[in-house]
Amino acid sequence: MSATTKEKKASPREAWGSLRKLPSGRWQARYPGPDGETHTARTEDDKALTFQTKTDARTWLSSVHTKIALGTWEIPEVQATRRRAEAEAEAARTIGFTEYADRWIEMIRTQPNRSGKMRSEGTIRSYKGKVNGYLIPEFDDTPIRDIDKERIRLMTDKLDKIPSPLNPKSKFNGVTRPVLIVLMMILRQAARDGIIAKEPDVPMPRQKPVRHDADHDPGEDVATPAQVEALYDAMPKRWAIAVLLAAWCQLRRGECLGLQRRDIEWRPDGSAILHVRRQLNANTGDFTDPKSEAGKRSLSVPRIMRDRLWEHLRDYVAKEAKAPVIAASVQGSVPLSNTRWWNVWSEAKDAVDVIDSGFRFHDLRHTGLTIFAQEGATLAELMRRGGHSDMRVVLRYQHATMARDRELADRMSDRVEAHLRKKENGEAASSPDGDGHL
């Protein structure tokens, strides 16, 4: 064999790295990395890389050598991980509102809130209603990062123009603020997830009255005992007890509909204790716990309604311990639904001429707590009676105690004035204890 033939068959070594022809006919490239390891050619997403020709393999090898010389080379696995993270981050930054809002709903459904408690089904349904009813129609697939202060302002203007379903004459609809709150919750989470740098700085509109005009007197939300009686008489007899439970036991609507026979405890002396243990949830239609732990409470049934409560249990409630007190049918096993109750209540309220059209069933509870406050109940006693967990809510009844305070102050003034008049007329001033002192 000649020297020339030997030269043709010899496989010259590469100046750096090595090339190998695979059984498939393609070429593989290998090279020593700065980390002291020998690496085989791989793609940017860390998959095996081979070449159709030796020249292609040699060109690739040269490019890697250049990267090492420039200090830009990365271990293939590390490079692939970084690129995947960058791609995911870019995809997240361009995620549309609808997709992210669906993720957010799932997150709040499956993860506890900041206090460590799971959100109720009613709360999740309320949030989802605002997302599907208002936010998705507005933003659709708009990237989260494009929802800025100006876009939110345009949405707010549209929401403000929606007529109030409760009071068409009201300047406010009770929709804008709750929808904005849910939107800002979503954007705040997007900021935590790194999708946006920070949530937009959007001023939140104040909560404003919807049912009444600005000159509405809150005192009109408090019924007189005579009006409570008129409402009781206007209701179908098998459901009328709910009016008294709301007014004189200060129960919420769901608490009334969630009552069962076993929740009423009769004492040997004729008194009765009512135990609030559950509510009929308007959102789910199921029995759930009251609004808060404070909602679970035991109340003394006022003397004014004991006889009628006993008669109601005798005539309209089944004998089973779990029989609903407000049943859909006489002595039935199914509680009256929130929807049907609303229709029954509306008809009864409209039949009472002395009741304002904006008066709600919940205002009966307000009525009872107001009278309770007028009788000198402390804030703690009001919170317990009403099942409140937030003292700020109970402070609304201060107007009742202030009214009582004014009444006592006026009576004091009458007595002082009468004393002074007697003194001016030369009469002997006297007092209830007979010693001449006020």
Q: Considering only CA atoms, give the Rg of the chain.
A: 38
**For the chain, which residues make up each domain, given as ranges?**
20-93, 97-192, 221-398
Q: What is the CATH number of domain 221-398?
A: 1.10.443.10
Q: Do domains 97-192 and 221-398 have the same CATH topology?
A: no
Phi and psi at residue 264, to the nearest 5°: -110, 120
Say what the pTM is: 0.55
Per residue in 20-49, is it b (16+ CB within 10 Å) or e — as a string? eeeeeebbbbebeeeeeeebebbeeebeeb
Per-residue confidence (pLDDT) for residue 10, from 0 to 100:
39
Residues 164 and 171: their CA atoms lie apart, in Å, by: 8
Q: Which amino acid is at 202?
A: V
Comparing 166 with 298, the larger pLDDT belongs to 298
Closest CA to 283 of 263, 262, 260, 253: 253
Per-residue confidence (pLDDT) for residue 53, from 0 to 100:
95
Per-residue confidence (pLDDT) for residue 211, from 0 to 100:
45
- Average pLDDT (278-289) is 87
Per-residue confidence (pLDDT) for residue 401, from 0 to 100:
66
Mean predicted lDDT score pLDDT of the chain? 84
Q: What is the end-to-end Cα distance of the chain in Å, rounded?
A: 141
Largest CA distance in the chain: 156
3-state SS of 79-98 is: HHHHHHHHHHHHHHHCCEHH
Per-residue confidence (pLDDT) for residue 428, from 0 to 100:
56
CATH number, domain 97-192, options 3.30.2010, 1.10.150, 2.60.40, 3.30.450: 1.10.150
- Average pLDDT (33-50) is 89
Closest CA to 229 of 244, 213, 211: 244
Per-residue confidence (pLDDT) for residue 123, from 0 to 100:
82
